[in-house]
Amino acid sequence: MAVIRDVMPAFDLLQPKSIDDAQKLLEKHGSDAWALAGGLDSFDWLKDRIKKPKVVVDLSGIEELKGVRSVSDGIEIGAMTTLTEVVNHPLIKQHYGLLAQGAELAASPQIRNQGTIGGNVTQDARCWYYRAGWPCYRAGGNICYADTPEGRNREHAILYADRCVAVNPSDSAPALIALDAKFVMRTPQGERVVDAEDYFIGPEIDITRLHILKPGDLLTAIRIPPTWAGAQFYFEKVRDRNVWDFPLLNVASAMVVSGGSIERMRIAVNGAAARPLRLKAVEDAVRGKPPNAATGEMAGKLAVQGAIPLQFNAYKIPLMRNLVKRAIGGVQEATWAS
């Protein structure tokens, strides 16, 4: 019988109990360190021997990173709060149901029980080549294996690609953008708070990361202001199988309708680019219009302007157009039904 002599490279496991200690450890070990949340993405990388950190900083013992709290300006969700808690929390369900919907469609119950909201928005790209350790652009090389005539690119980007055509796979991210969430980080320079849409970056800024965190940075919480609390929400995810599967595309929107017209709307899609996209042009174009099929049709067309398909993902263009259209028409139907 063959004996497998290959083992995971060893690392030092550090288990801080406070945000201060965790950030200092991440800062001290810089690019040698790996922050470990629920481990769903992390353990794939480590067990596949693709990423080989010298130090793993386990965040699971930091109580102040866990839970959902009411704050003066909305709610705050600790980065180590599980997706299951996010889905079931009464404050989120009551006021920010869009996030509960998105989080509930991520992965499987077991993964949601262990996976955290911080990990979900910070998870890495799911491109087959990259995950298998191929030395592509995102891995520091000088080629994209997916963007070739025979590359496996059915799941990849139709917008804003720059060398790398991988997409951001998070289901909670577009909901957080639509809710105008703020991401709170502890960095070597102190606390930093950014709008959800600015947490995510494309390859034109840094091809090796999907987010703005640098070595030494820790995501501590996500705050959601009351701006869109109780608005009319729409979340739809399209995936290959209706069991756990990453989104091919998803859409999240919040809309306030007054006197039969759209007073204001925020809408974001994911799975179309390396970062979740807030569709500002759509938000502007639908303001003052009735939330009906004609407005949805116009918005859908606008949303996909500039999209460029790869060899095997042209289907994403009509799919995104229709998701945006339904985000407007679907809300209207829900309103009439209630």
Ligand X SMILES: Cc1cc2nc3c(=O)[nH]c(=O)nc-3n(C[C@H](O)[C@H](O)[C@H](O)COP(=O)(O)OP(=O)(O)OC[C@H]3O[C@@H](n4cnc5c(N)ncnc54)[C@H](O)[C@@H]3O)c2cc1C
Q: Does 160 bind ligand SF4 (CB under 6 A)?
A: no
Q: Does 235 bind ligand SF4 (CB under 6 A)?
A: no
Q: Does 76 bind ligand X (CB under 6 A)?
A: no
**Subset of 86-145 contacting ligand X (CB under 6 A):** 106-107, 111, 115-116, 118-120, 122-124
**Subset of 167-196 contacting ligand X (CB under 6 A):** 169-171
CA-to-CA separations, 183 to 22, 208, 330, in angstroms, rounded: 18, 20, 29
Q: Does 246 bind ligand SF4 (CB under 6 A)?
A: no
Site string for ligand SF4, 297-336 (x = CB under 6 A): ----------------------------------------
DSSP assignment of 49-86 equals: TS---SEEEE-TT-GGG-SEEEETTEEEEETT-BHHHH
Name the one range near ligand SF4 by CB under 6 A: 41-49, 93-101, 132-140, 192-200. 132-140
Q: Does 130 bind ligand SF4 (CB under 6 A)?
A: yes
- In the complex, least distance from residue 306 CB atom to ligand X, rounded to whole angstroms: 25
User: Binding partner of residue 213 among ligand X, ligand SF4, none, CB under 5 to 8 Å per kind?
Assistant: ligand X
Burial of residue 242 (CB within 10 Å: 0-12, 13-18, 19+) is exposed
Q: How far apart are CA 302 and CA 296, in angstroms?
A: 10
- In the complex, least distance from residue 76 CB atom to ligand X, rounded to whole angstroms: 14
Q: Helix, strand or coil for residue 170?
A: coil
Burial of residue 7 (CB within 10 Å: 0-12, 13-18, 19+) is exposed
Name the one range near ligand X by CB under 6 A: 6-14, 194-202, 212-220, 327-335. 212-220
Q: For residues 56 and 65, is the Cβ–Cβ distance under 8 A? A: no
Name the one range near ligand SF4 by CB under 6 A: 25-33, 162-170, 191-199, 323-331. 162-170
Strands 55-58 and 12-14: parallel
Residues 6+ apart with CB under 8 A from 130: 124, 136, 138, 139, 166
User: Binding partner of residue 100 among ligand X, ligand SF4, none, CB under 5 to 8 Å per kind?
Assistant: none
**Subset of 137-156 contacting ligand SF4 (CB under 6 A):** 137-138, 144-147, 156
- In the complex, least distance from residue 318 CB atom to ligand X, rounded to whole angstroms: 22
Q: For residues 33 and 25, is the Cβ–Cβ distance under 8 A? A: yes
Instruction: Estimate to the nearest angstrom the gap between the alpha carbon of 37 and the chain centroid.
Output: 15
Q: Helix, strand or coil for residue 297?
A: helix
Q: What is the contact surface with ligand SF4 in residues (CB under 6 A)?
A: 125, 127, 129-130, 136-138, 144-147, 156, 164-166
